[in-house]
């Protein structure tokens, strides 16, 4: 599979086959225009619940609603043609029971047109993942650092540091694989743990703060573009610095308005 030559929408079956092949490229997108910009270059567009902080200025992902995810998911599907679109199930929309998860995941799939959902959790979520995948809902799992469980961890902490934690993570990932998750995001784990999981799983591992040993990488696009100010996790590599570009443009616009240098005759209907 090569994203450059591919013309049709990528489904999760093709993503799964990428295990141990060319690394998978995944970026977050929350809007149609950004999806259009990223689509030619990525395998997966993730409508992450990180949108709660990035788009809505919320303190964490815990306040994100199903309606937010559906609205942004639908926009990303409309703005893209080739990438496999995966939409996060928000906190509280799937943990209660497999039935609750199915009801909400089915809404996400049918109302957005996305190809899969992502949910956080280890072995305790395997039953739910099996319930969804048996009923036509492809699932990407998410283990390691799980932002929706920040209140349990007491913040965002690197996972899998101890050998026993590494074993727990492997058992969780294998349970999710047996439940037919098509891929697993591994967030905030040591390189040795990421390598161990990647070697022992038959489904692709998509790393974020989990080293180059994974079968693919995901980043929050706004971090990569330097669109956010403030705290940047160590695992982010910034490929552009757009904040000063925006500041300069807006500063110039404001000055032009105040000095009546905008609009000029070329912006007028004559």
Which residues carry out catalysis? 187
The reply to whether 43 sits near ligand KIV by the rule CB under 6 A is: no
The reply to whether 220 sits near ligand KIV by the rule CB under 6 A is: yes
- Residue (155 or 265) nearer to ligand KIV, CB: 155
The reply to whether 49 sits near ligand KIV by the rule CB under 6 A is: yes
User: Quick one: which of 48, 160, 207, 209 contacts ligand KIV (CB under 6 A)?
Assistant: 48
Q: Give least dist CB 270 to ligand KIV, A.
A: 47
CB contact at 8 A, 170 and 189: no
Q: Which of 81, 88, 78 is nearest to 187 (CA)?
A: 88
- Residue (71 or 245) nearer to ligand KIV, CB: 71
User: Quick one: which of 218, 221, 222, 225 contacts ligand KIV (CB under 6 A)?
Assistant: 218
User: Quick one: which of 76, 176, 184, 185 contacts ligand KIV (CB under 6 A)?
Assistant: 185
* Span interacting with ligand KIV, options 43-51, 99-107, 148-156, 189-197, rule CB under 6 A: 43-51
Q: Which of 133, 147, 210 is nearest to 176 (CA)?
A: 133
Sign of the torsion formed by the C-alpha atoms of 210, 5, 239 and 83: negative
Judging by beta carbons within 10 Å of its beta carbon (0-12, 13-18, 19+), is residue 126 exposed, middle or buried?
buried
Integer Cα distance of 212 and 214 in angstroms: 5
H or E segment to which residue 102 belongs? helix 98-112
User: Quick one: which of 12, 50, 104, 112 contacts ligand KIV (CB under 6 A)?
Assistant: 50
| Residue 26 bridge partners (DSSP) | 44, 218
- Residue 187 has, within 13 A of its CA and on its CB side, a CA count of 21
- Residue (70 or 185) nearer to ligand KIV, CB: 185
C-alpha distances in angstroms, 202 versus 17, 22, 81, 185?
9, 15, 28, 14
Q: Give least dist CB 182 to ligand KIV, A.
A: 15
The reply to whether 215 sits near ligand KIV by the rule CB under 6 A is: no
Interface residue list for ligand KIV (CB under 6 A): 28, 46, 48-50, 88, 185, 187, 208, 218, 220
């Amino acid at each position: 599979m090569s994203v450059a030559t591919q013309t049709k929408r990528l489904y999760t079956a093709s993503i799964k086959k990428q295990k141990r092949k060319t690394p998978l490229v995944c970026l977050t997108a929350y809007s149609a225009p950004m999806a259009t910009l990223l689509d030619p270059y990525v395998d997966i567009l993730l409508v992450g619940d990180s949108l709660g902080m990035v788009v809505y200025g919320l303190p964490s992902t815990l306040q994100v609603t199903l309606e937010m995810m559906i609205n942004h998911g639908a926009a990303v599907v409309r703005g893209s043609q080739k990438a496999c679109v995966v939409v996060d199930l928000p906190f509280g929309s799937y943990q209660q029971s497999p039935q609750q998860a199915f009801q909400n995941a089915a809404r996400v799939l049918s109302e957005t047109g996305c190809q899969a959902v992502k949910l956080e959790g280890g072995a305790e979520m395997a039953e739910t993942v099996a319930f969804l995948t048996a009923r036509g809902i492809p699932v990407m799992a998410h283990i390691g650092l799980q932002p929706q469980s920040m209140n349990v961890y007491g913040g965002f902490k690197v996972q899998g540091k101890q050998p026993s934690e590494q074993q727990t993570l492997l058992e969780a990932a294998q349970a999710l694989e047996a439940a037919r998750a098509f891929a697993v995001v591994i967030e905030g784990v040591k390189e040795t743990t990421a390598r161990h999981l990647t070697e022992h799983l038959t489904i692709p591992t998509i790393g974020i703060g989990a080293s180059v040993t994974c079968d693919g990488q995901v980043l929050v696009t706004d971090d990569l573009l330097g669109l956010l100010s403030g705290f940047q996790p160590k695992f982010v590599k910034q490929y552009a610095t757009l904040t000063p570009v925006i500041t300069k443009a807006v500063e110039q616009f404001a000055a032009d308005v105040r000095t009546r240098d905008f609009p000029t005759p070329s912006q007028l209907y004559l």
